């Protein structure tokens, strides 16, 4: 038995135990909004009817629409939704914008390389983020691992079930410890780790049950909290362990610069490392209500269409056939003057319209809770002024910001940071010494394209147009006022706001060279013009002198 394995398993059991109460909440949320994931406390087997407990599908549709909007709004295919700071998307170093043109071009190129790597089919980025979006919308968090595949020739993105992952924060609120439960088969363990496995695993893989699942865990902890770390490996920030829980055996222990796990969290509360989905938490009471109301309305509707019947017990001679075309036989000797042999029980259905109205109200509350009323940009009417349109857009930004801001910072930002760092370590961007000097050792910060960012960045373009109009009016009275604004810098910001890529732009050195060449050309043209005018003047003087000479000769004669 491995003492280190025992200690790691004990630490993980403690983390899983502390968040065990969350599983009941996640199970209820999943049953109401995300039935495919409703296996936190229950086991789902293939073929199960996952929605048999639901009477209304609207809560499930609301969750689906919100989760789908994450990719359509923030990770739109066909556009590089992250990259160098060129208008509506950008990358910056530290807190200062990059002014060097070569640095911008390198970052533009690196962003394109990263984009292609992320959307490589083998990387499974779309699959992982699709699953992560569903978890984020329902539970307020997701767990996505970013690493290289077994062959090391591409990235690999995987979304893990929240049920199987527990984590802890450090003193700064950053997740730095992750324990993930894993159930690989014996043959998979042998393929992945070979002779590092416990002898019992090899026996199972070579025996009659190679596909038996074994309890394992992947554990990432800060190096400073790990014991017996070799001195040469203390420079690494994290330590990665693969532990065979069944056999109490540490399969692999390696250092790592990166955590490899990205855990975006939507809305956190102090004192907890786990987040919540404000959409699901807010809509949960209405989701319960609408299921109960729908069942009641359906039951009332069935009674209205096929009301319960009352009849004379001795007079009914057949089964009650209440369907269309059905015939119920009554004793021929029964006297109808004594009352109907078969009649419906009186029911009061006056409350049905009120119940239907309440159901509509519940749907509207769920729609608002899932931000579905805030995902559409406001329409600009033909009679609206530019100011009115801009104010409506600003109002849209204020309403949508609680939804998009955590996604950009926690989700997309975390994924891009981890991907960039993973690719840098793998040498995907070439020799670091070939990077522009301004970028070496700098920390990168990603910015992303979104309706919010697009409207925010395009303000520079609008401001430039308004400023230019103001300067034109002012310069009509005082021409020197044109020099009040640095026109070159203002135009650069306006062009970036319009979305032009960095490769279209010349840097200031190139612009200065062009200006000097143009000034030199103008000087040469001026010199040639002066010489030409001088020649013309000399020619005119010569012609005048000759004419004077002829006049003198004529006078002498």
Mean per-residue pLDDT, 251-280: 93
Quickly tell me which residue has 């020739």 as its tokens.
153
Q: What is the pLDDT of residues 136-163, one digit of tens each?
A: 999 999 999 999 998 888 999 999 999 9
Helix, strand, coil percent content, the chain, rounded in steps of 5: 55, 15, 30
Mean per-residue pLDDT, 491-497: 67
pLDDT at 89: 36
pLDDT at 190: 93
Long-range contacts of 107-110 (CB under 8 A, 24+ apart): 107/83, 107/439, 107/444, 107/502, 108/83, 108/84, 108/501, 108/502, 108/503, 110/84, 110/420, 110/429
Q: What is the pLDDT of residues 358-410, one digit of tens each?
A: 888 999 999 999 988 877 766 655 566 656 666 666 676 677 777 777 788 88
Choose between 265 and 317: higher pLDDT.
265
Give, in order, the Cα–Cα distances in Å from 552 to each of 1, 25, 330, 548, 555.
Answer: 131, 120, 152, 6, 5
Asked if residues 434 and 424 have their Cβ atoms less than 8 Å apart, the reply is no
Asked if residues 243 and 217 have their Cβ atoms less than 8 Å apart, the reply is yes
What is the model's pTM? 0.76
Asked if residues 113 and 426 have their Cβ atoms less than 8 Å apart, the reply is no
Query: How is residue 94 annotated by DSSP?
Result: T
pLDDT at 228: 80
Q: Is 461 exposed, middle or buried (0-12, 13-18, 19+ CB in 10 A)?
A: middle
CA distance between the termini of the chain: 138
> DSSP letters of 331-367?
-TT--GGG--SEEEPP---TTHHHHHHHHHHHHHHHH
Q: What is the chain's mean pLDDT, rounded?
A: 81
Q: Which of 121-130, 198-207, 255-264, 321-330 is the least confident region?
A: 321-330
pLDDT at 311: 64
């Amino acid at each position: 038995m491995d003492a280190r394995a025992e200690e790691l398993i004990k630490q993980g059991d403690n983390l899983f135990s502390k968040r065990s109460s969350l599983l009941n909440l996640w199970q209820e949320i999943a049953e109401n909004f995300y039935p495919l994931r409703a296996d936190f406390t229950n086991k789902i087997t293939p073929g199960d009817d996952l929605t048999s407990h639901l009477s209304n599908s609207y809560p499930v549709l609301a969750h689906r629409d919100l989760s789908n909007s994450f990719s359509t709004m923030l990770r739109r295919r066909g556009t590089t939704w992250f990259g160098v700071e060129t208008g509506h998307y950008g990358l910056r170093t530290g807190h200062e914008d990059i002014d060097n043109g070569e640095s911008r071009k390198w970052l533009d190129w690196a962003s394109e390389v990263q984009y292609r790597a992320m959307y490589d089919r083998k990387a499974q980025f779309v699959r992982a983020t699709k699953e992560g979006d569903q978890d984020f919308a329902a539970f307020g968090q997701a767990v996505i691992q970013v690493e290289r595949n077994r062959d090391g020739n591409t990235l690999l993105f995987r979304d893990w079930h929240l049920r199987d992952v527990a984590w802890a924060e450090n003193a700064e609120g950053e997740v730095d410890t992750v324990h993930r439960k894993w159930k690989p088969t014996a043959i998979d363990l042998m393929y992945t780790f070979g002779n590092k496995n416990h002898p019992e695993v090899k026996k199972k893989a070579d025996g009659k049950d190679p596909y038996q699942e074994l309890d394992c865990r992947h554990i990432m902890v800060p190096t400073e909290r790990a014991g017996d770390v070799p001195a040469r490996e203390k420079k690494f920030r994290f330590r990665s362990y693969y532990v065979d829980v069944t056999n109490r055996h540490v399969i692999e222990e390696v250092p790592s610069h990166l955590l490899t796990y990205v855990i975006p969290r939507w809305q956190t509360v102090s004192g907890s490392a786990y987040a919540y989905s404000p959409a699901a938490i807010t809509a949960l009471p209405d989701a319960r209500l609408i299921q109960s109301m729908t069942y009641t309305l359906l039951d009332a509707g069935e009674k209205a269409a096929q009301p319960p019947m009352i009849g004379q017990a001795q007079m009914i001679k057949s089964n009650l056939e209440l369907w269309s075309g059905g015939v119920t036989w009554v004793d021929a000797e029964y006297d109808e003057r004594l009352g109907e042999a078969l009649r419906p029980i009186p029911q009061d259905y006056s409350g049905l319209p009120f119940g239907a109205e309440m159901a509509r109200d519940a749907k509207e509350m769920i729609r608002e809770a899932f931000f579905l009323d805030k995902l559409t940009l406001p329409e600009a009417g033909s009679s609206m002024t530019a100011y009115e349109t801009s104010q409506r857009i600003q109002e849209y930004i204020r309403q949508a910001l609680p939804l998009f801001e955590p996604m950009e910072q926690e989700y997309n930002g975390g994924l891009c940071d981890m991907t960039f760092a993973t690719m840098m370590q793998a040498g995907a961007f070439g020799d670091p010494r070939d990077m522009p000097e301004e970028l070496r050792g700098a920390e990168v910060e990603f910015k992303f394209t979104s309706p919010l960012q697009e409207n925010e960045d395009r303000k520079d373009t609008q401001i430039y147009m308004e400023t230019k109009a103001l300067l034109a009016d002012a310069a009509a009275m005082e021409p020197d006022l044109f020099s009040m604004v640095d026109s070159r810098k203002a135009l650069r910001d306006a062009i970036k706001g319009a979305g032009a890529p960095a490769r279209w732009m010349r840097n200031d050195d190139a612009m200065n060279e062009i200006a000097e060449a143009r000034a030199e050309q103008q000087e040469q043209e001026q010199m040639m013009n002066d010489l030409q005018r001088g020649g013309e003047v000399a020619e005119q003087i010569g012609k005048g002198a000759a004419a004077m000479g002829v006049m003198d000769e004529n006078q002498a004669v």
